[in-house]
Amino acid sequence: MPISIDRFDESPPDALDLQEGTQPYRILRFLAEHDDQAFTQTELHEATGIARGSVGAVLSRLEDRGLVRHKGRYWAIGDDDRLASYAAQTSASSVSTTDNYYSEE
């Protein structure tokens, strides 16, 4: 989907696209949904379907912005309070769509 030239010109050169469906969005959302665990790049590849070779590059860009953290081979959602809030929202959203509140009764 194209964007306006004004938006293009105003975007910083290293802007990270976190729109729904993008690779950074998919990894960040997965980690937020599993904020009590850490994963290897291989596990993230298998869980998100992102090409194995792309996962590392995406994680590096997310880490540069403080959105994820890693120790050794493992990656997890970042420590930022905004991310904790996002993770809580994500968990609440997925629970509300899977509970029986919206059953067909």
Lowest mean pLDDT among 11-15, 23-27, 56-60, 66-70: 11-15
Q: At what angle do helices 81-98 and 23-33 cross, to 10 degrees?
A: 80
Domain 18-89 sits in CATH at: 1.10.10.10
pLDDT in tens, 62-103: 998 889 999 999 999 998 766 666 555 655 554 444 444 444
pLDDT at 29: 92
H helix intervals, 1-105: 5-10, 23-33, 41-48, 52-64, 81-98
pLDDT at 53: 93
pLDDT in tens, 31-53: 999 999 999 999 999 999 999 99
Check: CB of residue 26 under 8 Å from CB of residue 71: no
Residue 26 neighbours by CB under 8 Å, 6+ apart: 48, 49, 50
Give CA separation, 41 vs 33, 45, 59, in Å. 16, 6, 9
pLDDT in tens, 22-35: 999 999 999 999 99
pTM, two decimal places: 0.68
Confidence of residue 5 (pLDDT cuts 50, 70, 90): confident
